[in-house]
Every structure is written in C-alpha cells, then in structure tokens.
Amino acid sequence: MDGEILYREECYQIQGVVFEVYREIGSGFLEAVYQECLEKELSKRGIPFVAHPELGLSYKGEPLRQTYIPDFICHKAIIVELKALATTGEHKAQVLNYLKASRMRLGLLVNFGCYPKATIERIVL
C-alpha cells in the first residue's frame, strides 16, 4: 500500500458532499445544521453512513461505561467529525481518540467555520 492514499475514492465522495453543503448554505451555521444537511446529501448520493454511532471503550480488555460518539462513520471505515468554528489541536486529538476506540485508520476533520470554503483534514492512525 506504499504511496496509495487510504480510501481515496470514498474520501473523494465525502469531500463532494461537504463542498456541496458548503456551496448551498455557506458558513455561519451551527454544527447541528451541517450535520442534518450532510445526512440529507449523503443519503441523496447513496453513500453509506451512520450518524452519531456509539463507540465502546475498554481498559485492559474490560468494557468501560464511557463511550465516544463521532458525528458520522461513512463506508463503515471513515470517521467524519464536523466543526463549525476554528479547529484546534484538541479537535484533531478528538478524532485520533475516535480512531483508537473504533480501530479504524482514517478520520476526516471537517470545518465549516472557514471562509471562503470548508476545510477537510485527513487524520490517519
């Protein structure tokens, strides 16, 4: 897999959805508005996703009561986390934690709080 981009085609599809939502409504809305718009656009394009899935955590093989809930898991393999404000290192760490908890390898940190376009940061574990 040297030189290959992880989930290239699937990410391209998700990026298309993100940019379409941004073209349609722009910046300045709450995260929940973008969440709902993405759900509609993902469905419209036939992209498989689960919104707000609960990720179980464990410690030394024992389950914890605490869970993580990312915004989306798309294609059963890509965590998508939405923000509607300037992103920080804490947001990247949040996606890394989701990847560790889910044992997935790729996360997309989507920021709708940018102008003149939304940004997407690939985070690979």
Q: Residue 41 is part of a domain; what is its CATH number? A: 3.90.320.10
Residue 2 pLDDT? 52
Residue 26 pLDDT? 94
Residue 1 pLDDT? 47
33 has pLDDT over 90: yes
Task: Indicate the number of domains in the chain.
Answer: 1
| Residue 30 forms part of a structural domain | yes
Residue 65 pLDDT? 96
| Residue 2 forms part of a structural domain | no
63 has pLDDT over 80: yes
Structural domain including 93 reads 8-124
Beta strands in the chain (DSSP E): 49-51, 55-59, 62-68, 72-74, 78-83, 106-111, 119-124
**Confidence label for 3 from pLDDT (cuts 50, 70 and 90):** low
**Average confidence (pLDDT) over 83-103:** 93
